[in-house]
A and B are shown apart, each in its own frame.
Chain A
Amino acid sequence: NAGVTQTPKFQVLKTGQSMTLQCAQDMNHNSMYWYRQDPGMGLRLIYYSASEGTTDKGEVPNGYNVSRLNKREFSLRLESAAPSQTSVYFCASLRTSGSLETQYFGPGTRLLVL
């Protein structure tokens, strides 16, 4: 299993440009998540999807949209990038085993908005 994969690894954008961050998992997990990590801070939840076809806002959703394309894929879109969106973005999926739930993370996408 590849686990959780993210593309691209690194991206530079100009203010106002758009892009989509891709995330895929091959573990047949239902729930998927997008977080951002800023310097000196922990991860903050942007959006999540509890199942295919459903999405919900997290703590910091402004400026982002998401699509749960199918069970495997959960994409994050920046329609008009701003310097404040410079961050490292992590995708995660949720493993449920009986009553135990654990999130597994992708390697991250580093985004620089100029």
Chain B
Amino acid sequence: AQTVTQSQPEMSVQEAETVTLSCTYDTSESDYYLFWYKQPPSRQMILVIRQEAYKQQNATENRFSVNFQKAAKSFSLKISDSQLGDAAMYFCAHASTNFGNEKLTFGTGTRLTIIP
């Protein structure tokens, strides 16, 4: 079974600065997906970024980028130029590549506070 660990329950960052959220995972699979989801106070789960394990290049979406270290089973999220709207819970998640049958395993989340 897969496990996902987020060791930082809470993080804070000054507005406009950069912050990195950590995530490690455990899996015996060689091919899989990794995700970061954002959950603002509205509780809506919003996909931030995804990474396919077979891709060596780190995914980037505007101010969000990941550092994917497959051998170390590490998948950190970097948020650049932090904005007040980035304040939320961030969840790291793993999914097997079982096409059409994908099941997500989530970490326990990191609460990110943005300091004006």
Contact = CB atoms under 8 A, between A and B. Distances in A.
Q: Do A and B bind each other?
A: yes
Interface of A: 30-31, 33, 35, 40-45, 48, 50-51, 58, 88, 90, 92, 94, 96, 99-105, 107-108, 110
A88 B44 CA distance: 11
Given A42-B109, A107-B44, A31 B93 contact: no
Interface in B37-76: 37, 42-47, 50, 52
A44 B108 CA distance: 10
Contact of A43 (B47, B91, B100, B102): B91
Contact of B107 (A30, A42, A88): A42
A94 B44 contact: no
Given A101-B95, A107-B44, A42 B106 contact: yes
Nearest to B91: A42
Nearest to B1: A59
Please classify the interface of chain A as helix (H, G, I), strand (E, B), loop, or mixed, using the class held by over half of its residues.
Answer: strand
Contact of A41 (B46, B100, B102, B108): B108
A108 to B, nearest CB: 5
A100 B102 CA distance: 11
A31 B106 contact: no
A110 B30 CA distance: 37
Contact of B93 (A42, A50, A94, A104): A42
A31 B43 contact: no
A29 B36 CA distance: 21
Given A42-B109, A101-B95, A107 B100 contact: no
Given A102-B47, A107-B42, A94 B108 contact: no
A41 B93 CA distance: 12
Given A31-B102, A40-B108, A108 B44 contact: yes
